[in-house]
Structure 1
Amino acid sequence: MSGRSVEGWPRMLLRLEGACILAAALWAYGWLGQSWWLFAALLFAPDLSLLGYAAGPVAGAVLYNLMHTLALPLIGLSLAAGFDRPDLAGLALIWLAHIGLDRALGYGLKYASGFGDTHLGVIGRAGDGTIAPH
């Protein structure tokens, strides 16, 4: 590992996990019979957390990471199942699908040093998701 990001085989596994999360969330959403229009409308809603970068890179990274960690939608999904709320389960699955898509594409959790500095490598500088020289 070079710097603060994952490289090589472990990085590929993390991206594969993201694709599996996306696939599982899509399947479960369809199984629940939820509205695909709602899915399309809300799929990128977690990216509104990018507005946190208006307050600086630290606030931006904190807000972005909060909305892009698996913990919150998994808790939401568990609560929705526990309280028999398929509508809330659908929202949690949309959130999980978004995170899975991001991870599959190589968009990782952010470091406070800047938006492009992620745990899956530097984005936006090398063009292919690999770590670019600083």
Structure 2
Amino acid sequence: MLKNLLHMEGMAVLLISIYFYAVSDFSWVLFFVLLLAPDLSMLGYLKHNQFGAVIYNVFHTYVFPIVLVLVGISLLLPTLLAIGLIWFAHIGIDRSVGYGLKYPTAFKDTHLQRV
């Protein structure tokens, strides 16, 4: 039950991000180019699992997209707002399909499930 709620939460974040991105009339090319960019953080696993988990988790929490969206809105910087919304969408996709934050034991060990 709780896992399903987290999946639905991820889907809600994804849909809300896409909605605000669309009504802001941002570039869809930019959206699709950057959508998977946070997954580059997986390269941290080339060093070792613990380092990889830390780097991956930094790029898969809502903290930095929130900052980008707030700065983009407050300073009228639409590019930062667009990047923040894309980042939210990426995290929403991950959560909706069951990819969560990583434990340092292995890449497949997440807070939502073992993938």
Aligned to 1:66: 58
Tell me if 1:54 matches 2:46.
yes
Q: 1:119 aligns with which of 107, 111, 114?
A: 111
Q: Distance in 1 between matches of 2:43 and 2:105?
A: 16
More strand as a share of residues: 1
Unmatched segments (≥5 aa) in structure 2? none
More helix as a share of residues: 2
CA displacement, residues 69-115 of structure 1 (integer Å, 9 cap, x when unaligned) = 01110111111111011111000000000000000000000000000
Tell me if 1:96 matches 2:88.
yes
Tell me if 1:21 matches 2:44.
no
Unmatched segments (≥5 aa) in structure 1? 1-8, 124-134
Aligned to 2:73: 81
Aligned to 1:39: 31
Q: 1:11 aligns with which of 3, 6, 29?
A: 3
The one-letter code matched in structure 2 to 1:103 is R
CA displacement, residues 30-74 of structure 1 (integer Å, 9 cap, x when unaligned) = 111100011011100000000000010000000000000011101
Q: Distance in 1 between matches of 2:88 and 2:66?
A: 8
Q: Distance in 2 between matches of 1:21 and 1:74?
A: 12
Aligned to 2:102: 110
The one-letter code matched in structure 2 to 1:106 is G
Percent identical? 43
Q: Distance in 1 between matches of 2:64 and 2:8?
A: 21
Length-normalised TM-score, structure 2: 0.98
Length-normalised TM-score, structure 1: 0.85
- Give the root-mean-square deviation of aligned CA atoms: 0.5
Q: Give 1 or 2 for the bigger CA radius of gyration.
A: 1
Q: Distance in 2 between matches of 1:75 and 1:87?
A: 13
Q: Distance in 1 between matches of 2:43 and 2:97?
A: 21
